[in-house]
């Protein structure tokens, strides 16, 4: 497979684009992380989400520590070619490092953020040493 | 309503966060744009999406030119407090400036980007002078 398709992406100055992981079945938005050229290329090759960790400054094969890999069913890009949308199957049903299904568990209610989703598994159980 | 909740957001160095607009009924991801402090504050006040246009460097009340306002049903933030997720009702059924329902109409198929969604209305008809 040629890599030409990667040249369509409008990478930011730091060489990144945001990537949304959406549950392919329920449609729930699970998380947003960042990808560089290599991460997006690997995501397409492996059919598993690979991001660029801005904090650790390295490629991050999602699930490499937790076992919560993201099987990629579809890759889309938006009209400006600067945001990626993945349809995924979330292994273990947990995308968030807090042990929740989705990273978007905090909801604005009457001027306050309220955590409305349950923790399915404690982080200590997810990231076993 | 106090503005304290806005201080939870981890704005980037340039004072922005990405905001995802998701159809509140179908779950389809319609677009991603950017918000600064003022845009997010106005979004919560008006219950209509207000973004920060990075190209025009000004607040952008989505729909101000097209009439395609986005009624905001819910606002969430992710675990890192640096991405906003809106559940919206898209007026006119068109979120994308190309006249499509969603900005994510380009799908990776066998190493090529393929436009898979129909144009519902021509841009010239949307942005009448």
The reported pLDDT for the residue numbered A126 is 82
**Is the confidence at residue A127, as pLDDT, over 80?**
no
> Model confidence over B36-85: pLDDT tens digits?
999 999 999 999 999 999 999 999 999 998 899 999 999 999 999 999 99
**Is the confidence at residue B129, as pLDDT, over 60?**
no
The reported pLDDT for the residue numbered A124 is 86
Mean pLDDT of A59-86: 96
CB B37 within 8 A of CB B54: no
Which one of B77, B78, B100 has the shortest CB-CB distance to A31? B78
Mean pLDDT of A3-30: 97
Q: How far is CA A31 from CA B62, B85, B117, in A?
A: 24, 10, 24
The reported pLDDT for the residue numbered B1 is 62
| Beta-strand relationship, A29-35 and A17-23 | antiparallel
> Model confidence over B17-37: pLDDT tens digits?
999 999 999 999 999 999 999
Task: Delineate the domains of chain B, giving CATH numbers in brackets.
Answer: 4-95 (3.10.20.810)
Helix H, strand E, coil C: the string for B75-121 is EEECCCCCCEEEEEEEHHHCCCCCCCCCCCCEEEECCEEEECCCCCC
Dihedral sign from CA coordinates of B7, A104, A124, A129 = negative
Mean pLDDT of A114-122: 95
Quote the CA–CA distance of B34 and B18 in Å, as a whole number.
4
Quote the CA–CA distance of B105 and B87 in Å, as a whole number.
19
Kindly write down the DSSP assignment for every residue of B42-62, as one continuous string.
HHHHHTB-EEEETTTTEEEET
Query: What confidence tier does A125 reach under pLDDT thresholds 50, 70, 90?
Result: confident
A128: which residues sit within 8 A by CB, 6+ positions away? none
Across the interface, do A27 and B27 touch by the CB < 8 Å criterion?
A: yes
Rounded to a whole number of angstroms, the distance from the CA of A129 to the nearest CA of chain B is 23
**Is the confidence at residue B126, as pLDDT, over 90?**
no
Across the interface, do A107 and B80 touch by the CB < 8 Å criterion?
A: no
Quote the CA–CA distance of A46 and B10 in Å, as a whole number.
32
Query: What confidence tier does A94 reach under pLDDT thresholds 50, 70, 90?
Result: very high
The reported pLDDT for the residue numbered A129 is 54
Mean pLDDT of A35-45: 98
Mean pLDDT of A15-22: 98
User: How many Cβ contacts (< 8 angstroms) between chains A and B?
Assistant: 106
Chain B hits for A26, Cβ within 8 Å = 27
Quote the CA–CA distance of B2 and A115 in Å, as a whole number.
19
């Amino acid at each position: 497979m040629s890599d030409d398709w990667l040249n369509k992406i409008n990478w930011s100055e730091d060489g990144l684009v945001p990537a949304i992981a959406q549950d392919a079945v329920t449609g729930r938005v699970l998380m947003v992380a960042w990808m560089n050229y290599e991460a997006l290329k690997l995501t397409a090759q492996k059919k598993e989400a690979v991001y660029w960790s801005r904090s650790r400054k390295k490629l991050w094969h999602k699930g490499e520590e937790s076992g919560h890999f993201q099987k990629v069913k579809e890759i889309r890009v938006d009209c400006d070619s600067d945001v990626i949308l993945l349809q995924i199957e979330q292994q273990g049903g947990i995308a968030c490092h807090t042990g929740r299904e989705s990273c978007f568990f905090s909801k604005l209610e009457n001027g306050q953020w309220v955590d409305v989703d349950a923790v399915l598994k404690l982080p200590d159980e997810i990231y076993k040493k």
